[in-house]
Structure 1
Amino acid sequence: MASVVVRPSKLLLALLVAAMAASPRALAYDPSPLQDFCVADTASNVFVNGQACKDPAQVTAADFAFSGLQDAGDTGNAFGSKVTLVDARALPGLNSLGVAMARLDIAPGGVNPPHTHPRATEVLTVVEGQMYAGFLATDGKLFARVLNRGDAFVFPRGLVHFEFNCGAGPAVGLAGLSSQNPGLVRVADSLFGAAPAVTDEVLAKAFRIDAATVQRIKAQFAKK
């Protein structure tokens, strides 16, 4: 049988492809860790992409634990919703691991308004009540459905999405996010509550409304 000769360059490419296929973390957005853990040193003044590592000799089990997700969030606000985020700032042990989670509470008729997470895909599971949830693709197509207890829904990274409580009682969801620091950009808040403010002319032209209407909307998002 004739032998098959694989050139080094082709062998290297084949090994690289195999390694990427075998390890989904190789395709993760956040940098992969190079040690067992890198607990965030919240007292450090060093500025890095993420947070500086705490001395491993000072790390304890408490650095990997968080308490509070059993408590309902305060929905007594204009939106009727509250997000309790557990990221690397709230749970130092998440630093460098590329994941975060959140609890979402929405009162009847409340909404978690349209927003994006620029650094994370989100998967939401409804654990109580009912939600109407969806996201907008870059071509403007809406993907949405009513979710009941036990249902899950995925919001792709960076796309605008929302959740609305369409049920008669409180709604609660638990979300997993594919970044230790997902980021949050609320669409309306960012445009109408920016500081310094986006000019009335820009917003009036973009939303096809007059400057007086822009001013009325801005007043709803003025920083207190």
Structure 2
Amino acid sequence: MMFLLIIFTLAFLFSSCNALDFCVGDLSAPQGPAGYSCKKTEKVTVKDFVFSGLRAAGNTSNLSKVTIMPAFSTQFPGVNGLGISVARVDFSVNGRGLMHTHPEAAEVLLVIQGTLCAGFVSSTNKIYLTSLHEGDVMVFPQGLMHFLINVGKSSALAFTSYTSTSPSIYFMDYAWFANDMSTDILQKTTFLDHDQIKKLKGVFGGTN
């Protein structure tokens, strides 16, 4: 009896795995904490597993002179449920990937072109800083603050991968200065003076 139970259990597990080879995201449905619900198998095509949106360079005419072009589950439904995603990052000369973190994902970055100054800060406030050149790879552990700066004389290009299908990106500067938090509170919590805060609010679009 026990042998039959084991056989039945194994058969069920293998059949379940085969039924869940993938879960292509149904983008017509709302996204939940676990991602999108699965598109019906009969509606899945090979196009769901291919994304061509990272071929061309992004527009870097912005404040940081950097653009991130994601291939997350929202753009690339084939990665839904797989715990992975990628993005293209373009840097103009002097482009800066401002200090940021991904609370739910680790990141691996591959430099395709140019030279980047890259680093992250550990939970003990130790800084891990280096220069990255074409072909170099660097990992940024989950949740740790990190940054990238184009220190070369030409544009730079990198591709990143994440351990999440929809990694959130939390920029420190925007969190502090792109909102309506009062200058008085920011003075007390950052030790910056009034004029510095007003200047930074002006740069990042904050008020109050």
Tell me the equivalent position of 1:221: 204
* Contact 1:33 1:97 survives alignment (8 Å): no
Deviation string, structure 1 residues 22-66 (Cα, Å, up to 9, x no partner): xxxxxxxxxx99811111111124745211111111111111110
In structure 2, do the counterparts of structure 1 residues 46 and 212 end up closer, same or farther at CA, with 3 Å as the change threshold? closer
Matched, 1:205 2:206: no
**Aligned amino acid, residue 186 of structure 1:** F
Structure 1: distance between partners of 2:105 and 2:18: 17
Unmatched segments (≥5 aa) in structure 1: 1-31
* Contact 1:110 1:164 survives alignment (8 Å): yes
Tell me the equivalent position of 2:82: 97
* Contact 2:25 2:78 survives alignment (8 Å): yes
Tell me the equivalent position of 1:171: 156
Structure 2: distance between partners of 1:135 and 1:123: 12
SS at match of 2:70: strand
Tell me the equivalent position of 2:137: 152
Matched, 1:59 2:44: yes
TM superposition score normalised by structure 1: 0.80
Q: Which moved more, 1:163-172 or 1:68-77?
A: 68-77
Structure 2: distance between partners of 1:47 and 1:180: 12
Find 2:65's aligned residue among 53, 56, 80: 80
Q: What is the percent sequence identity of the aligned residues?
A: 34
**Aligned amino acid, residue 155 of structure 1:** F
* Contact 2:30 2:36 survives alignment (8 Å): no
Find 2:118's aligned residue among 133, 145, 150: 133
Displacement of 1:210:
2.3
Aligned length: 190
* Contact 2:107 2:140 survives alignment (8 Å): yes
In structure 2, do the counterparts of structure 1 residues 48 and 108 end up closer, same or farther at CA, with 3 Å as the change threshold? closer
Structure 2: distance between partners of 1:134 and 1:213: 25
Displacement of 1:216:
2.1
